[in-house]
Amino acid sequence: MARITFKAVTKRYAGDVVAVRDLDLEIFDKEFVVLLGPSGCGKSTTLNMIAGLEEVTEGELWFDDEIVNTLPPHRRDVAMVFQSYALYPHKSVYENIAFGLRMRRVAAEEIDRRVRDAAAKLEISHLLQRRPSQLSGGQRQRVALGRAMVRQPAVFLMDEPLSNLDAALRISMRAEIKHLHTAMQTTFVYVTHDQAEALTLADRIVVMNDGVIQQIGAPDDIYERPRNTFVASFLGNPPINYLDGTIEGADGAVSFRRGGMRVALPPALAARLRGSPGREVKLGIRPEDVSRHGLGAETPAMEGIVDTVLPVGSDRFLGLKVEGCDVFVRVDKQAHHREGEPVRLALVPERLHVFDKASGLSLLADGAP
């Protein structure tokens, strides 16, 4: 049970690699926070700083009301699950799970109780006497979870814990981890580069890139109101489409224009952009935010030529050429488009994203340029 606060934290590795730059972040007690970003963006570094495995170069790291910058990991009440599981090869499963408690001089009966309890919860009771090398990947994963669980730590850290599992197992483990968080009532910090994991697990997501926080927010918030093109692109699969164009119109109707295409912007955006005709922007359209229905004369719409058709189970994806741009959209299964055909799709005005072309910042966000 702890609140973790980063105040202007920078981490610099030898050779002046800045892994994390000027990080400000508050993780609340009992919260499930996911650090999300591409490989090399500084997620693990951030997590390791919480664990004490990496030292803060500049700034302050607080646990509740205490600065822990120089507190070594064994004095911090944290537990961690690693991508490679990092089980001790020379110890049995039982001893692997018990090790952290032994190091903290917990009484023997208490250790035994907690180990068996955790093993039962994770359904690995029958494996306790085995060595890690005799376990499957999924079983090792459970042992690693057990080792962290029995510690009943103030902070539970996980660094891509599911990345080494196969797809099916990954999805079922997601649910278990979510369940674990509810049961343990403690602060979870979870690192992943998999947006689907982040979206299912997190109370709040912290999106990072190049050592800098891009956006912090609830999953829906991040998905629906990305602050910049990086966040918008990183979340969503298939990714969001961009059309470069300019703002047009003055008084009443403000619209986006690219070549022959003109999209009237919803009032909120229109109000912001009224004063800047000719401004260069990117229009962001998520693949699922189009519809074959509700096409009226007034509704914003997009016209293009069907380039590819990809039926994928419940859905159908279309690759379109729109004003010289490739656009990928999802339509319902009933749509029977053929390649080379022209198509017209309605856009949902409230779900359109507009970004400044130069800075990539969203024009919808608070304090937008």
Ligand X SMILES: Nc1ncnc2c1ncn2[C@@H]1O[C@H](COP(=O)(O)OP(=O)(O)O)[C@@H](O)[C@H]1O
Residues of this chain that bind ligand X (CB under 6 A): 13, 17, 19, 37, 39-45
Joined tokens for residue 82: 């690693």
Give phi and psi for 70, each to the nearest 5.
Answer: -110, 15
Look at residues 81, 86, 78, 70 and name the one whose alpha carbon lies nearest to residue 27: 78
Alpha carbon dihedral 360, 364, 365, 367, in 10-degree steps, equals 90
* Residue 69 touches which of ligand X, Mg ion, another protein, none (Cβ within 5-8 Å per kind): another protein
86, 169, 270, 325: which one binds another protein (CB under 8 A): 86
36 versus 158: smaller Cβ distance to another protein? 158
b/e map 85-101, b = 16+ CB within 10 Å: bebeeeebbbebbbbbb
Full DSSP string of 63-100: ETTEE-TT--GGGS-EEEE-TT----TTS-HHHHHHHH
Give the integer Cα–Cα distance in Å for 221 and 219: 5
Tell me: does residue 90 bind another protein (CB under 8 A).
yes
Give the integer Cα–Cα distance in Å for 282 and 256: 9
99 versus 317: smaller Cβ distance to another protein? 99
Least separation in angstroms between residue 22's CB and ligand X is: 15
For residue 152, the one-letter residue type is Q
* Residue 42 touches which of ligand X, another protein, Mg ion, none (Cβ within 5-8 Å per kind): ligand X
69, 92, 233, 291: which one binds another protein (CB under 8 A): 69
Tell me: does residue 56 bind another protein (CB under 8 A).
yes
115 versus 206: smaller Cβ distance to Mg ion? 206
Tell me: does residue 44 bind Mg ion (CB under 5 A).
yes
Draw the binding track, 299-338, toward another protein (x: CB under 8 A; -: no contact).
----------------------------------------
216 versus 261: smaller Cβ distance to ligand X? 216
- What residues are paired with 285 via a beta bridge? 241
55 versus 326: smaller Cβ distance to another protein? 55
130 versus 272: smaller Cβ distance to another protein? 130
Give phi and psi for 90, each to the nearest 5.
Answer: -90, 5
DSSP state of 106: -
363, 246 in Cβ contact below 8 A? no
Tell me: does residue 175 bind another protein (CB under 8 A).
no
Question: Using N-to-C axis directions, what is the helix angle for 137-149 and 167-184, rounded to 10°?
Answer: 10
Tell me: does residue 53 bind another protein (CB under 8 A).
yes
Ranked by CB distance to ligand X, the top (closest) residue is 44
Tell me the Ramachandran region of residue 52: left when phi exceeds 0, alpha when psi lies from -120 to 50, beta otherwise.
left
Draw the binding track, 111-150, toward another protein (x: CB under 8 A; -: no contact).
------------------------------------x---
Note the residues at the interface with Mg ion (CB under 5 A): 44
Note the residues at the interface with another protein (CB under 8 A): 13-14, 48, 51-53, 55-60, 67, 69-70, 72-74, 78-80, 82-84, 86-90, 99-100, 103-104, 147, 151, 157
